[in-house]
Chains A and B, each alone.
Chain A
Amino acid sequence: MAERVLRSGRRGYGRRMVGAQSSLWRLDGVLLVAVAALCVIGTLLVWSSTRTWAPGSTGLVKKHMLNLGIGVVLCAMTTAIDHRAMRAYAPLVFLLSLVGLGLVISPLGATINGSHSWILLGGGFAVQPSEFAKLGLLLILAMLLAQPAEGSDRPRTFDIVLALCVAALTMGMVMLQPDLGTALVLAVITAAALIIGGVRKRWIVGLTLVAVTGVFLVFRLQLLEPYQIARFTAFLDPGVDPRGVGYNSTQSLIAIGSGGLFGKGWLHGGQTTGRFVPEQHTDFIFTVAGEEFGFLGSVAIVLLLGVVLLRGLRIARQCDDRFGTLAAGTIVCWFAFQTFVNIGMTIGIMPITGLPLPFVSYGGTATFANLIAVGLLQSIRIREQQQYA
Chain B
Amino acid sequence: MIRMRSRLFVLHVLVLSLLVVLGVRLWQVQVVRGQEFVTRATETRTRTVIEPAVRGQILDSSGRPLVRNQTALVVSVDRTALARTPDGGKSVLRKLSAVLGTPVKKLRERIRPCGPGVSQPCWTGSPYQPVPVEQKADTRQALQILERQEDFPGVSAEIQSVRQYPGGQAGAQMLGYLQPVTEAELEKRAGLKAAYSGVDLAGRDGLEEVYDEALRGKPGMRRVQVDRMGKAIGVEQQVRPVSGDNLITSIDARVQAVAERALARAMHNAPKADGGAAVVLDARTSRVLALASAPSYDPAVWAGGISASGYQRLLSPKSGMPLVSRAINGQFAPGSTFKVSSVTAMLRAGYPLNGTYDCPGSYMVGDRAFNNFHGIGLGTMNLHTALVKSCDTIFYRAAYEQYLRDGGRDPKKKPREIFANTARAFGFGRPTGIDLPGESSGRIPDRRWKKEMWTLTSGTNCRRAQTGYPEVTDRARADFLKRLASENCAEGFILRPGDSANFSIGQGDVLVTPLQLARAYAALVHDGKLRSPRIGWARVRPDGTLVQTYDVPVVGKLPLSEKERLYIKNALSEVASDGTAAGAFAGFPMDKVRIGGKTGTAEVWGKEDTSWFASFAPTNDPRFVVVAMVSQGGMGAQTAAPAVREIYEGIYGIKGPAALPGGKPVSRLPKFAPDGTVAR
Cβ contact within 8 Å between B37 and A257: yes
Docked complex Cα distance between A333 and B40 (Å): 36
Does B159 make an interface contact (CB < 8 A)?
A: no
Contact in complex: A310, B15 (CB < 8 Å): yes
Are B227 and A294 in contact, CB atoms less than 8 angstroms apart? no
B1→A322 contact, CB < 8 A: yes
Q: A274-B233, A299-B23, A302-B22 are in contact. Are A259 and B45 (CB under 8 A)?
A: no
10 pairs from A and B in contact (CB 8 Å cutoff): A253-B29, A254-B41, A273-B225, A274-B228, A302-B22, A302-B23, A325-B4, A336-B14, A336-B18, A343-B22
Q: Indicate if the CB atoms of B15 and A336 lie closer than 8 Å.
A: yes
Contact status of A295 and B27, CB under 8 A, knowing A325-B4, A343-B22, A344-B22: yes
- Residue with the greatest number of chain B CB neighbours at <10 A, chosen from A198, A270, A320: A270
Instruction: Say if the beta carbon of A136 comes within 8 Å of chain B.
Output: no
Closest chain A residue, CB of each to CB of B9: A317
The answer to the question of B31 belonging to the interface, with a C-beta cut-off of 8 Å to chain A, is yes
A185 at the interface (CB under 8 A from B): no
CA distance A196 to B233 in the complex (A): 53
Interface 0/1 of B1-37, CB less than 8 Å to A: 1111101100110111011011101110111011111
- Residues on B with C-beta less than 8 A from A348 are 25, 29
- The reply on B620 being an interface residue by CB < 8 A is no
A261 to B26, CA, bound (A): 10
Instruction: From the candidates A154, A258, A295, A332, name the one contacting B41 in the complex (CB within 8 A).
Output: A258
Q: Which residue of B14, B23, B26, B38 is within 8 Å of A258 (Cβ)?
A: B38
- Residues of A contacting B210 in the complex (Cβ-Cβ under 8 angstroms): none
Contact with A along B198-240 (1 / 0, CB 8 A): 0000000000000000000000000001111000010000000
Type the 1/0 row for A297-321, where 1 means its CB is closer than 8 Å to any CB of B.
Answer: 0110011011001100100110010
A341 nearest CB neighbor, chain B only: B18
Apart from the given pairs A260-B30, A275-B227, A340-B18, 17 other A-B contacts in the complex at a CB distance below 8 Å? A153-B2, A196-B8, A198-B4, A254-B41, A257-B29, A258-B40, A273-B233, A274-B233, A276-B44, A295-B30, A299-B26, A309-B19, A313-B11, A320-B1, A329-B7, A336-B18, A349-B25
Cβ contacts A187-222/B at 8 Å (1 or 0 each) = 000001001111000000000000000000000000
Question: A347: CB under 8 A from chain B?
Answer: yes
Instruction: Please tell me the number of chain B residues within 8 Å of chain A, measured between CB atoms.
Output: 38
Chain B residues contacting A313 (CB-CB under 8 Å) are 8, 11-12, 15
* Bound form: Cα–Cα A339–B22 in Å: 10
Q: How far is the CB of A152 from chain B (nearest CB, A)?
A: 10
CA distance A254 to B38 in the complex (A): 7
Residues of A within 8 A of B30 (CB): 256-257, 259-261, 290, 294-295, 298
On whether A329 and B8 interact (CB within 8 A), knowing A257-B37, A302-B22, the answer reads yes
Chain A positions within 8 Å of B27 at CB level:
295
Chain A residues within 8 Å of chain B by Cβ, number: 53
Interface residues of A in 252-282 (CB under 8 A from B): 253-261, 270-271, 273-276
A261 in contact with B31 (CB, 8 Å): yes
Give chain A nearest CB distance to B3 CB in angstroms. 4
Is the Cβ of B4 less than 8 Å from the Cβ of A259? no
Q: How far is the CA of A196 from the CA of B10 in the complex (A)?
A: 10
Contacts of A273 in B (CB 8 A): 225, 227, 233
- In the bound assembly, the distance between CA atoms of A30 and B30 in angstroms comes to 28
Residue pair B34, A261 in contact (C-beta under 8 Å): yes
A326 within 8 A of B: yes
Whole-angstrom CA separation of A320 from B4 in the bound complex: 11
Q: How far is the CA of A52 from the CA of B22 in the complex (A)?
A: 30
Q: Which residue of A lies closest to B236 (CB)?
A: A270
Do A316 and B8 have beta carbons less than 8 Å apart?
A: yes
Give the contacting residue for A153; candidates B3, B15, B34, B38; CB below 8 A: B3
Least Cβ distance of B393 to chain A in Å?
A: 86
The 7 closest A-B pairs by CB, nearest first: A257-B37, A258-B41, A295-B30, A260-B34, A274-B227, A198-B3, A258-B37
- Measured CB to CB, the residues of B under 8 A from A are 1-5, 7-8, 11-12, 14-16, 18-19, 21-23, 25-27, 29-31, 33-38, 40-41, 44-45, 225-228, 233
Report the Cα distance A309→B14, complex, angstroms.
Answer: 11
* Highest count of chain A CB atoms <10 Å: which of B18, B22, B30, B41: B30
List B contacts of A316 (CB < 8 A). Answer: 8
List, in ascending order, chain B residues with CB within 8 A of A259's CB: 30, 34
A271-B41 in contact (CB<8A): yes
Q: Is the interface of A mostly helix, strand, loop or mixed?
A: helix
Q: Which residues of A have CB within 8 Å of B31?
A: 260-261, 295
- Which residues of B have CB within 8 Å of A329? 4, 7-8, 11
Give every chain B residue within 8 A of A271 (Cβ-Cβ). Answer: 41, 44-45
| Contact flags A356-389 to B (C-beta < 8 A → 1, else 0) | 0000000000000000000000000000000000
B225: chain A residues at CB < 8 Å are: 270, 273-274
Residue picked from B5, B14, B35, most chain A C-beta under 10 Å: B5
B25 CB to nearest A CB, Å: 5
Q: Please determine whether B15 and A270 come into contact, CB atoms closer than 8 angstroms.
A: no
Chain A min CB distance to B9 (Å): 8
When the two chains form their complex, are residues B1 and A325 in contact, meaning their CB atoms are under 8 A apart?
A: yes
Interface pair A306/B37, CB less than 8 Å apart: no
Are the C-beta atoms of A256 and B29 separated by less than 8 Å?
Answer: yes
Smallest CB gap from B32: residue in A: A257
Q: How far is the CA of A302 from the CA of B19 in the complex (A)?
A: 7
Residues in A whose Cβ lies below 8 Å from that of B228: 274-276
How far in angstroms is the closest Cβ of chain B from A159? 15
Q: How far is the CB of B104 from chain A (nearest CB, A)?
A: 28
The answer for the CA separation of A251 and B36 in the assembled complex, in Å, is 13
Partner of A274, one of B7, B37, B226: B226
A259 to B23, CA, bound (A): 15
A249 CB, min distance to chain B CBs, angstroms = 12
Pick from A274, A344, A348 the residue with the most CB of B within 10 Å: A274
- Residues on A with beta carbons closer than 8 Å to the beta carbon of B5: 317, 325
Contacts A271-B45, A274-B225 hold; do A317 and B18 have CB atoms under 8 A apart?
Answer: no
A192–B18 Cα gap in the complex (Å)? 16
| B16 contacts across to A, CB distance below 8 A | 306, 310
Partner of B11, one of A197, A260, A290, A332: A332
- Which residue in chain A gives the minimum CB-CB distance to B227? A274
**Chain A proximity of B500: nearest CB distance (Å):** 77
CB-nearest residue of chain B relative to A309? B15
What residues of A have a CB within 8 angstroms of the CB of B40 in the complex? 254, 257-258
Contact present for A302 and B3 (CB under 8 Å): no
A246 to chain B, nearest CB (A): 14
Contact of A310 among B1, B12, B45 (CB under 8 A): B12
The residue on A at minimum CB distance from B33 is: A257
The docked-state distance in angstroms from the alpha carbon of A259 to that of B34 is 7
Closest residue to A259 on the B side, CB-wise?
A: B30
Instruction: Report Cα–Cα, A33/B470, bound state, in Å.
Output: 109
B488 to chain A, nearest CB (A): 70
Q: Which residue of A lies closest to B19 (CB)?
A: A306
A179 to chain B, nearest CB (A): 23
Tell me the smallest distance from the CB of B198 to a CB of chain A, in Å: 25
Query: Could you tell me the distance between the alpha carbons of A273 and B229 in the complex, rounded to whole angstroms?
Result: 12
Distance in angstroms between the alpha carbons of A332 and B18 in the assembled complex = 13
| CB–CB A302/B12 < 8 A | no
Q: In the complex, what distance in Å separates the CA atom of A326 from the CA atom of B8?
A: 9
Task: Please state if A198 and B7 are interface contacts (CB–CB under 8 Å).
Answer: yes
- Which residues of chain A are within 8 angstroms of B12 by Cβ–Cβ distance? 310, 313
Evaluate contact between B21 and A349: CB separation under 8 angstroms.
yes
What residues of chain A lie closer than 8 Å to B36, measured between beta carbons? 257
Q: Let me know if A322 and B4 touch, CB within 8 A.
A: yes
List, in ascending order, chain A residues with CB within 8 A of B38's CB.
257-258, 260
Q: Hey, which chain B residues are within 8 Å of A261, CB to CB?
A: 30-31, 34
CA–CA, A320 and B36, complex, Å: 52
Closest to B27 in A: A295
Whether A332 contacts B37 in the complex (CB less than 8 A), given A257-B30, A348-B29, comes out as: no
Q: Nearest chain-B residue to A247 (Cβ)?
A: B228
The residue on B at minimum CB distance from A340 is: B18
Alpha-carbon gap, A329 to B1, bound state (A): 13
B37: nearest chain-A partner, CB-CB? A257
Which chain B residues border A196 with CB–CB below 8 Å?
4, 7-8, 11
